[in-house]
Amino acid sequence: MEWTEENMLLLIPLGLGWLAVWWLMPTNTKRPRILGGLAAVAALLMLQMMLLPPAGDLVRNGLFFLFAGTAVITAGLMITDRSPVYSALWFALVTLAVCGLFLLNSAPFLAASTIIVYAGAIIVTFMFVIMLAQQSGTSSSYDQQPFQPAVASLGAFLLLGALLFTLQEWGGIDGKNAPDEPKTGQFVALPAGIAANPLSQAPADNPREIGSLRVLGRSLFGDYLFAVELAGTVLLIATIGAIALAPRRSQGTL
Amino acid sequence: MTASALESQLVVGAILFILGMIGFLTRRNLILIMLSAELMLHGVSVNLTAFSRYHGNPQGQVFTIFVLTIAACEAGLALSLILSLYQRRKSLDISLWSKLGEDDLAVFTSPPTAAPVAPADPNADLPHLTPAGRMPKTPGPNQAKT
Amino acid sequence: MTDWLKENVLWLIPAAPLLACLWIVLVGQVVRRKYAHRPLVLGLVVSLAASLYLLTVVVPQGFAHDEHEVSHSVITFVYQWFKVGTLDIPVTLRADAMSALMLTMVTSVSTLVAIFASSYMKGDPGYPRFFAAMSLFVFSMCMLVLAGNFLLLFVFWEAVGLCSYLLIGFWFQKPSAAAAAKKAFVVNRIGDFGLILGILLVWQTCGTLDFATLFDSSFVIDQMVRQQPEIFHWICLLLFVGAIGKSAQFPLQVWLPDAMEGPTPVSALIHAATMVTAGVYLVARCTPFFVHAPYIQMAVSGIGAATALIAAITALTQYDLKRVLAYSTVSQLGYMFMSLGAAGAGEGLAIHAVTFAMFHMFTHAFFKAVLFLSAGSVMHAMGDVIDMRRFSGLRKVLPITHWTFLAGALALAGVPLLSGFWSKDEILAVLAAASKGSAHGGFYQVILGIALLTSLMTAFYTFRAYFMTFWGPEKFPEEAGHHPHDAPPAMAGPLAILAIAALGIGLVTGPTHLYGHYLHHTPGLPHADEFPLDPVMMAISSVLAIAGIAVAYLLYVASPGIAQNLKRSLSIGFKISQEGLFIDWCGYKFVAAPLRTLASICEFFDRWVVDTIVDCFGFIPALFGSVIRPVQNGMVQNYGLVMMIGLVVCLISVLRALAGTM
C-alpha cells in the first residue's frame, strides 16, 4: 500500500492510459469516444509533468514535446482508428514525428532516410495494398472488432509500467538519482577494434558531429562493413522472396 | 545531452513500443498488424538514437540504419505474404487463419451485439468521373482464372 | 569319390530338396512356372540316391550275419547353433540304421508322389507354390529324421507341421480348406506343447539333448535310472503326447480326416506315408527311455488300440473315398502304437515291438500311398468328385487305377503274402506274445482282441470302398464329362511302382527278416533273441482278412439290398459310425465351446474393466490438457499475447528482486 502511494504519480497515468486505449478501441457499439480522448490527454499530461527537465534549452524542450506528443498521440490514433486507410496515414505522421526526434538526437541523415524509406516507400506500398484489398471503401467488420482489447492493453500497460518504473528507480527519470552531466564517447566499452579506430569516434567537443555523414559513413563502411554486406544480401534475398511470394495474377484482379 | 533528456526520449520510445504492441495484439487487419510492428520498431529506433547522442558515438545510429534495412525487407515480404493470403480468402482478417490451433476450439466469436456490416452500395456517395471515351474492358475474376 | 560321398552323403540328403525349394521360390515362381516340378524331382532323385547309399554306409557289410554288432551312428557337424551355459546345441546330422531306413522310405515315396503330382496338379494357378511347399516338407522331414539332438528334432517337428498347414490350406480360397488347415495346426500345437515339455524334462534330467550321448551308449540313462527311475514315466508321457498330436492318436486324431481338404498327393505323402509317422519314429527313437516306463508303454498300447478301433468303426460308413483312407490311416497308426506299447510286457519284447512297428510303418507308407494316389486318380477322372455314392463301376473305365487300388487294398486288408499281411501279422504276433507274458498279460489280451477286430474291420471297409468305387453299374457324376480318362503316364508310372512295392516289399523284407536285422543295428535298442513267426496268428489274420473281404463283396456286390436293410435296421449305429463316434462333436461341445465362453468372458473383462482403468489414466492428462488447451487456438495474436504476458511476469519478478536488494 505504501508502495502504491509512493508511486501514485506513475500508476495513475498508466491506469488512465489503459482505460483510454481500451475505450478508444474500435467497436460496433456507439461509445462517446471523447471520454477516451480526455483520459488519454490527462494521462499524457501527468506523464509530461514527470518528464519535465529541471533545466534546459527552452527551444529544444519545446521541440521535444512537440515531436514526442505528436508521435504518441498519432500512434494512439493509428492503433485505434477503425479505417485502415486512416491508420496508415496516422502512421505516416508518427514517422514524421519520430524523424523530428531523430533530428533532436543529432541524426539528420537518419531522419532523412527514414522519411524516404517509410513515408516514401513503405507507407505508399501499404496504401496500395489497402486500396486494392478494400475496394468497397467501407471498413470491414473485422476492423471494428478488435481481438481481446482489454487483456492485451492491460498486459501492455503493465509492461510499460515496469519499464517506466525501472527508469524512475534506476535511470533517474525525474533527475533524482542520476548525475546530471553529459556523457561522452568513453562511457561504454566498445569492442577493441572499434574503440581503437579514431575515425569512427565523434569528436568529443562537437557532439553534433556524430550524426554527420562523414562519421556515419566511416563507421558503416569501416567498422561494420561485413554487417553492411550482410544487410545488403538480406535485402537482395528479401527482394527475390517478395517476387517469388507475390501471387501470380492476371490483369485487373488482385 | 543531459541524462534527463535521455530519460525523456526513452519514455517516448517505450510508449511508442507499447502502443505498437497493443496494436499488434488487438487489431485483426493483417496490414494494421504489420504497421503496428513498424511502430514498435520506431520506438526502438528512438531509443537507439537517444543513446547514440547520449554516448556521443555513432554506433546507435548505425544500428538504426540496420533496423531500417531489415524493416524494409520485412515490409516487402510481409506485403507479398498478405497479398497471397488475401488471394486465398478474399479478406484481410487474421482470424481466418487459425488452422494450426486445436480443431474444436472457437477461434474468435463476434460479440452478440455485432451488427452485420451493411453491404456497400456501389452508387452511393462515391464521386463519379465524367465518362471519357469507352469504358476499358476488364475481365471478371472468374474469366481471369481460366 | 566314395570318400567324398561318405563324408557328405548326410548333408546331401536334406540339401537337395532345400535347394529345390529355394530355386522354386526365387526363380521358379517367375520363370517356367509350368516346369516347377522339375527341380523338386531332380532334388528328390539325388536325395533318394544318397539315402540308398547311406543304407550301405551306416551298417557293416554283411550285416545280416552278425545282427548284434551295433554300428555307431554317422554324425556330421554343420555349425554351432547356440551355447548357453551347459546347454550346447550344435546343428548336427546324425544317421543310424533307423534313420537310414526312414530316409529311404521318405525319399522314395516322395519321389514317386512328386512325379504323380506333376501331372495331377497341372494347370493349377499355384503350381510352383505347391512344389515349393513340398520341397520344404521333404527337407524338413529329412532334417527331422537326421536331427542330432532333441531341440533340432523339435525345430523340424514344427517345420513339418508348418508345411502340413501350408499344404492342407493349399486351396485357401475354400473356407473348408482354410478351416482344416487351422484345425490341424491348432490341434498339433497341443501335442507340440507336450513334446517341448518332454524335451525340457530330458534336459533337466540328463543334462544333454544330444542323441549320440543319450543313445549311443547307455551310460547316461543307466545313471539316471539309478538316481530317479520314476522321472522316465514323466519324460515318456510328455514325449508320447507329442507323438499323439503328430500321429493323430486319440484324442487328438480329429485333425487328420479334415486334412484331406488338401490336394491328394499331399494326403498321400504327408498325411499317410511320412509326416504322421513321425510320432511313431519319435517313440521308436526314444525306446531307451520307454523301456524304463512300462506303464507308459501300456498307455501307448491302450491309446493305440482305442484309436485303431474308433477309426475303424468310423471308416465303416464313410462315403468320402479319401476319408475312408484317412480313417484307415489313423487306424493303422493305432496299430503301430499298439505294437510299440507291447514292449511294456517284458524287456525281451522291446526290440521286436519297435521293429514291427517300424516295419508296419514302412509297408504302410507304400500301400497307403498307392491307395491315396489311386483315389486321387479317381478324383482326377471324376472331375474332383470324391463321394462314392455318385460313381461306381469304374473298373472298365479306369483299368490302371483299378488294379493299383486293388493292390493297395489287398495289402492293407492283410491278404496273405502281401506286404500288409507280413507287418500286421508280426504286430499281432508280438501282441500275442505280450499277452502270454506274466506282466499285464490280461491287458494285452484285450489289446490283441481289439487288434483282431480292427483287422477284420479294416478288410471290410477297404473293400467296401473298393467295391463301391470299381464294381456295380457304371455311373459317372456330371462333373466328369462323358468319357473319363484313365491316369496319364506321369501318374500311372508312380502308381504302378508303388503298387508293386505294396504287393512285394513285405515279401522281400518280412519273412527274410531283412528289415528287422538291419534295424537291429540301431544303437540304443536292447538286444533280444530272434522272434519266431507265429503261424497261429498268421492263420487267424488271414481268415479275418478274407472274411472281411467276403462280407464286403456280399453286401456291396452280390446283394446290395442287404446293405440297405442293414443300414435301415441299424440306423442309430450307422449314424454313430458316420459321425465318427461324435468325437468331433464332443470336442466342439466340451472343449471348444467352454473355451469360447472363457474367451468371451476374458474379452468382456478386457474391454470393460481393463480398458476402463486404462482410459481413466488416459483421462488425467486430457483433463489437465483441457485447462490449457484454449491457449492453442491458432491465432497468432493469442500466442503473441501469451509471450508478452510471460515477458511482463519475468520483468516484474526481476524488478521485485532488484527492489528488494536496494
Say what the ipTM of the complex is: 0.84
Question: If you average pLDDT over residues C47-73, what whole number do you get?
Answer: 70
Please give the average per-residue pLDDT across C476-488, as a whole number: 74
* Pick from B49-63, C2-16, C332-346: least confident: C2-16
Residue C139 in grid coordinates: 527337407
* CATH number assigned to the domain comprising residue A67: 1.20.120.1200
CB B42 within 8 A of CB A94: yes
Out of A102, A167, A252, name the one closest to residue B139 (CB). A252
Question: What are the chain B neighbours of C634 within 8 Å (beta carbons)?
Answer: 97-102, 105, 107
pLDDT (tens, 9 = 90+) of chain A, 254 residues, equals 677 777 888 888 899 999 999 888 888 777 788 888 889 989 888 888 777 565 667 888 889 989 999 999 999 999 988 888 888 889 999 999 999 999 988 888 999 999 988 877 778 878 887 777 666 655 677 778 888 888 899 999 999 988 888 887 776 544 444 444 444 443 444 455 555 555 555 454 565 667 788 888 888 888 899 999 999 999 999 999 988 887 776 655 55
Angle between the N-to-C axes of helices C441-470 and C321-341, in degrees from 0 to 180, rounded to the nearest 10: 160
Test C648 with A159 for CB contact under 8 angstroms: yes
Q: Among A89-103, A226-240, C72-86, C609-623, where is mean pLDDT lowest? A: C72-86
pLDDT for position C1 = 57
B13 has a pLDDT exceeding 50:
yes
Each residue of C23-33: pLDDT tens digit? 888 888 777 77
Least confident window among A93-102, C256-265, C458-467, C558-567: C558-567
User: Alpha carbon C353 to chain centroid distance?
Assistant: 21
> pLDDT at position A208, please?
60
Rg (CA), chain C: 30
Contacts of C406 (CB under 8 A, 6+ apart): C466, C470
Residue C576: alpha-carbon gap to chain centroid: 26
In a domain, residue A97? The reply is yes
Residue in B with minimal Cα distance to C637: B25
A175 inside domain: yes
Residues from chain B that touch A129, judged by Cβ atoms under 8 A, are: 31, 79, 82-83
Question: Smallest CA–CA separation between C651 and chain A, in Å?
Answer: 7
Name residue C82's beta-bridge partners. Answer: C89
Spatial distance between the Cα atoms of C443 and C434, rounded to a whole number of angstroms: 9
Q: Could you read off the pLDDT of C416-470 as tens digits, one per residue?
A: 888 888 888 888 888 888 888 766 778 888 888 999 999 999 999 999 889 888 8
Q: How many whole angstroms separate alpha carbon C323 and alpha carbon C192?
A: 25
A72 contacts B28? CB cut-off 8 A: no
* Maximum pairwise Cα distance, chain A: 67
**Tell me: the pLDDT tens digits for C175-218?**
989 999 998 998 898 889 999 999 999 888 888 888 888 887 77
CATH code for the domain in which residue B70 is found:
1.10.287.3510
What percent of chain C has a predicted confidence (pLDDT) above 90? 17
A42 vs chain B: nearest CA distance in angstroms?
15
Residues 6+ apart with CB under 8 A from C185: C161, C164, C165
Determine whether the interchain pair B27/A94 forms a contact, defined as Cβ–Cβ distance below 8 Å. Answer: no
Return the pLDDT at A9.
Answer: 81
C634/B107 Cβ within 8 A: yes
Pair C114, C40: CB distance under 8 Å? yes
Q: Is the pLDDT of residue C404 over 80?
A: yes
What does the radius of gyration of chain A's CA atoms come to, in whole angstroms? Answer: 22
Are A142 and B93 an interchain contact pair (Cβ–Cβ within 8 Å)? Answer: yes
Note whether residue A96 is domain-resident. Answer: yes
Q: Within a domain: residue A230?
A: no
Cβ neighbours for C409, distance < 8 A, ≥ 6 positions apart: C371, C462, C463, C465, C466
Q: Residue A241: is it exposed, middle or buried by C-beta count within 10 angstroms (0-12/13-18/19+)?
A: middle
Q: Give the Cα separation of C542 and B57 in Å (integer).
A: 128
Q: Give contacts of C644 with chain B, Cβ < 8 Å.
A: 21, 25
Choosing among A158, A166, A170, A176, which should be mutated to test the C contact, i.e. which has the most C CBs within 10 A? A158
Residue B112 has pLDDT above 50, yes or no: no
**Closest Cα of chain C to A4: distance in Å?**
14
Residue C475: which residues within 8 A CB-CB, separation 6 or more? C390, C391, C392, C393
User: What subunits touch chain A, counting only 3 or more CB pairs under 8 A?
Assistant: B, C
Query: How many pairs of residues across A and B have Cβ atoms under 8 Å apart?
Result: 324
Which residue(s) pair with C45 in the sheet? none
Structure confidence at residue A136 (pLDDT): 61
What would the grid cell of residue C369 be? 500311398
Mean pLDDT of B7-36: 91
Number of domain units in chain B: 1
A151 and C641 in contact by Cβ < 8 A?
A: yes
CB neighbours (10 Å) of residue C75? Answer: 18
B28 in any annotated domain: yes
Selection from C350, C362, C347, C400 nearest residue C378 by Cα: C400
B35-44, B123-132, C218-227, C373-382: the lowest-pLDDT one: B123-132
Confidence band, pLDDT 50/70/90 cuts, at residue C70 = low
How close, in Å, is residue B103 to chain A by CA atoms? 19
Is C634–B26 a contact, with Cβ atoms under 8 angstroms apart? no
Least confident of A29-33, B51-55, B117-121, C138-142: B117-121
Which A-chain residues 149-168 have CB contacts (< 8 A) with chain B? 149, 152-153, 155-157, 159-160, 163-164, 167
3-state secondary structure of C126: coil
Spatial CA neighbour of A161 closest among A150, A179, A173, A146: A173
Asked whether the beta carbons of A199 and A218 are under 8 A apart, the reply is yes
In a domain, A91, yes or no: yes
Q: Which residue has the cell 481471369?
A: B144
Comparing alpha-carbon positions, the chain C residue that sits nearest to B25 is C637
Residue B137 burial (CB < 10 Å; 0-12/13-18/19+)? exposed
Residue of B17, B21, B25 to mutate, interface with C, max C Cβ within 10 Å: B25
Q: Is residue A214 part of a domain?
A: no
In this predicted structure, the answer to whether residue C534 has a pLDDT above a threshold of 90 is no
Q: Is C44 helix (H, G, I), strand (E, B) or coil?
A: helix
Residues forming beta bridges with residue C387, ordered by sequence position: C320
Closest residue by Cα to residue C413 from C517, C322, C543, C607? C543
Place of cell 464521386: B127
Count the Cβ atoms, other than its own, within 10 Å of residue A137: 14
- Taking the Cβ of residue B95 and every Cβ of chain C, the question of whether any pair is shorter than 8 Å is answered with yes
pLDDT for res C97: 84
Domain limits for position B28: 3-94
Does the CB of B97 have a partner CB in chain C at under 8 Å? yes
Give the residue carrying C-alpha cell 473355451.
Answer: C595
Q: Read off the amino acid at residue C20.
A: A
Ranking C229-233, C253-257, C355-359, C525-529 by mean pLDDT, the lowest is C525-529
Cα distance between residue C515 and residue C307, in whole Å: 26
The whole-number pLDDT of residue A93 equals 92
Distance CA A48, CA A13 (A): 10
**Contact flag B7-A105 (C-beta cutoff 8 Å):** no
Give pLDDT, residue C351.
83
CB A158 to CB C648 under 8 A?
yes
Helices (H), ranges, C169-320 = 175-206, 211, 219-227, 231-246, 255-258, 264-268, 278-285, 287-290, 294-315
Question: How many residues can be counted in chain A?
Answer: 254
Q: Does the distance separating the beta carbons of A158 and C641 come in below 8 Å?
A: no
C91: closest CA of chain B, how far (Å) = 60
Residue A183 is predicted with a pLDDT of: 44
| Angle, CA of A101, A105 and A109, to the nearest 5° | 85
- B-chain CB neighbours of C640 within 8 Å are 24-25
Range of the domain at A79: 2-179
Testing the interface with A: which of C644, C649, C658 to mutate, by most A Cβ within 10 A?
Answer: C644
* d(CA A214, nearest CA chain B) in Å: 10
Spatial separation of the C-alpha atoms in residues C465 and C387, rounded to whole Å? 10
Cβ atoms of C201 and C269 closer than 8 Å: no
Chain A residues touching C651 at Cβ < 8 A: 159, 162-163
B-chain residue closest to A181, CA distance? B2
CB pairs under 8 A between B and C: 41
Between CA C637 and CA C633 the distance in angstroms is 10
CB-nearest partner of B46 from A98, A160, A164: A98
Rounded to whole angstroms, what are the CA distances from C307 to C247, C420, C426, C568?
Answer: 11, 19, 19, 27
Residue C208 phi, psi (nearest 5):
-150, 155
- The chains in contact with chain C, meaning 3 or more Cβ pairs closer than 8 Å, are A, B
* Beta carbons within 10 angstroms of residue C216's beta carbon: 18
Residue to mutate among A154, A159, A160, A164, with most C CBs inside 10 A, is A159
Please answer yes or no on whether B4 and A231 come within 8 Å at the CB atom.
Answer: no
The strand ranges marked E within C549-660 are: none
pLDDT, averaged across chain C: 85
CA dihedral B67, B70, B76, B77 (to 10 degrees): -130
Nearest-CA distance B89 → chain A (Å): 11
Chain A residues with CB inside 8 Å of C635's CB?
A: 147
Q: B138 to chain A: nearest residue by CA?
A: A252
C-alpha cell at B18: 507499447
Interchain contact A147–B (C-beta under 8 A) = yes
pLDDT higher than 70, residue C60: no
Q: Is the dihedral of CA C146, C150, C152, C157 positive or negative?
A: positive
**DSSP secondary structure, C617-641, as one string:** HHHHHHHHHHHHGGG-SS-HHHHHH
User: How many CA atoms lie within 13 Å of B105's alpha carbon, on the beta-carbon side?
Assistant: 19
pTM above 0.90, yes or no: no
pLDDT at B128 over 60: no
Q: What pLDDT is attached to residue C613?
A: 92
On whether any CB of chain C is under 8 Å from the CB of B24, the answer is yes
How far apart, in whole angstroms, are the C-alpha atoms of residue C313 and residue C327? 9
Question: What pLDDT was estimated at residue C518?
Answer: 80
DSSP A150-192: HHHHHHHHHHHHHHHHHIIIII-TTSSSS--S---GGGSPPPH
- Return the SS3 of B29: strand
Q: CB distance from C637 to chain B under 8 Å?
A: yes
Q: How far is A58 from chain B (nearest CA, A)?
A: 12
The answer to whether the CB atoms of C644 and A159 lie below 8 A apart is yes
Q: Is A58 exposed, middle or buried (0-12, 13-18, 19+ CB in 10 A)?
A: exposed
Question: Rounded to an integer, what distance in angstroms lies between the CA atom of residue C366 and that of residue C458?
Answer: 17
Beta-carbon separation of B21 and C644 below 8 A = yes
Residue A231: inside a domain: no
Closest C-alpha to B28, from A71, A155, A139: A139
Search chain A and give the residue with CA nearest C636.
Answer: A147
Is A117–B76 a contact, with Cβ atoms under 8 angstroms apart?
no
Residue with cell 518528464: A51
DSSP A148: S
Most A CBs within 10 Å: which of B26, B44, B66, as the mutation test of the A interface? Answer: B26
CB within 8 Å of chain C, chain B residues 25-64: 25-26, 28, 33
Question: Which residue out of C631, C635, C636, C641 would a mutagenesis test of the A interface target, given it has the greatest number of A Cβ atoms within 10 Å?
Answer: C641
Q: Is residue B141 domain-resident?
A: no
